[in-house]
Amino acid sequence: MDVIPLIPGLHFLRFPIGHAYLWQDTDGLTLIDTSATGSAPQIAEAIRGLGHHPSDLRRLVLTHFHEDHVGSAAEIARWGEVTVHAHRADAPVIRGHEEGPLPELTDWERPLLERIQAQAPPRTPEPVRVDRELEDGDVLDFGGGARAVSAPGHTPGSVALHLPGPRVLFTGDTVARLSDGQVTLGLFNVDRRQAIDSFQRQAALDTDIACFGHGEPLTHDAAATLRTTAEHLRE
């Protein structure tokens, strides 16, 4: 895992699959996603390397229920006074009370998913408590007032986070960035039409930095790139 500063107070935790992001406020830390099962020790090491302690974590926000984002959440939630946030629609799956719906794969996505699963078979993460179920427009107490943006389509309860002050957007897997730098709709969606609508909604936000669950963040004028991709998705 690599720890990469993006702006003061924001670090990108780059994992081979399923990135996480760490935000620092004066009252403690906020973690967005946890990568896969077994990632907690690396995240704890990153926190210590930045001069903090894992018990300084105050908020854990899960963008959706997939294992490469919630895999280490149960362990991290036990670090101390951590409030776990997730969207209402994905919360039952994250808690282990329900099975999540499978994606509706396009013809070209099916062999890609098979290759990914052959390299790292999907695992069922440990159930995670969810302390706060998010709804669209809810304000979270970090980053000067982060706002939850309901973004269904990848999963029913996918949620993005928009920080209007620093103009940062955390998209989870609703948006992705390929190795060549191209920004695209996230893959493996349960409802592609809904996912496109969610992409377009995020593209309309005032965003300078966009942080994705897969792919390198956009660190300048992200809104322009998101809007260009949104236009292509309308075609």
219, 155, 44, 207: which is closest to 230 by C-alpha? 207
- Residue-wise pLDDT for 84-115, tens only, equals 999 999 999 999 999 999 999 999 899 988 88
pLDDT at 117: 81
Q: How far are the Cα atoms of 52, 85, 150 from residue 56, in angstroms, in the given order?
A: 7, 17, 28
CA pair distance 108, 228, nearest whole angstrom:
23
* Predicted local confidence at residue 121, as pLDDT: 62
The pLDDT, as a whole number, for residue 19 is 98
pLDDT tens digit sequence for 148-157: 999 999 999 9
Residue 114's contacts (CB-CB under 8 Å, 6 or more residues apart) are none
Indicate the pLDDT class of residue 235, thresholds 50, 70 and 90. Answer: low
